[in-house]
Structure 1
């Protein structure tokens, strides 16, 4: 369990460090991501980005568990 938590933490840190670079290639602004801007608020729901990240992580974990 501790090994899994450490790996998850390292992945989150890596994603945080790489986020500016990932934003430049369009991740986070894909078709299907919902963004509603009002006068005093902004609502952002990255639905397509979440699905894409989930698929990629699932494939990576499936590959390592084989």
Structure 2
């Protein structure tokens, strides 16, 4: 049961950290989420937003940064 509690704390901390990063990114990068490849479809009673270009950019940057960190710690 102790291991499950630790796992929940790690997951909660990770989600909180991701939320803080999103808040910081929104403040310093207001164009993030409004790139030319982000799709927005609006109807009378609905709104669909699909940030394809933003997801690709964040994924690419995350992959590059993670590879750099892994290469540094594997030496």
Task: Give the TM-score normalised by the residue count of structure 2.
Answer: 0.65
- Show CA shifts across 1:8-57 (max 9, x none): x52x4233124344335211111110000111000111000000000010
Give structure 1 regions of 4+ aligned residues with deviation exceeding 2 angstroms: 12-15, 17-24
Residue in structure 1 matched with residue 33 of structure 2 by the alignment: 28
Provide the aligned length of Structure 1 versus Structure 2. 60
Q: 5+ residue gaps in structure 2?
A: 1-9
**Which protein, 1 or 2, shows the higher relative CO under an 8 Å CA cutoff with sep ≥ 6?**
1
Matched residues in 2 for 1:44 and 1:54: separation? 18
Larger-gyration structure (1/2): 2
Q: 1:17 aligns with which of 6, 16, 20?
A: 20
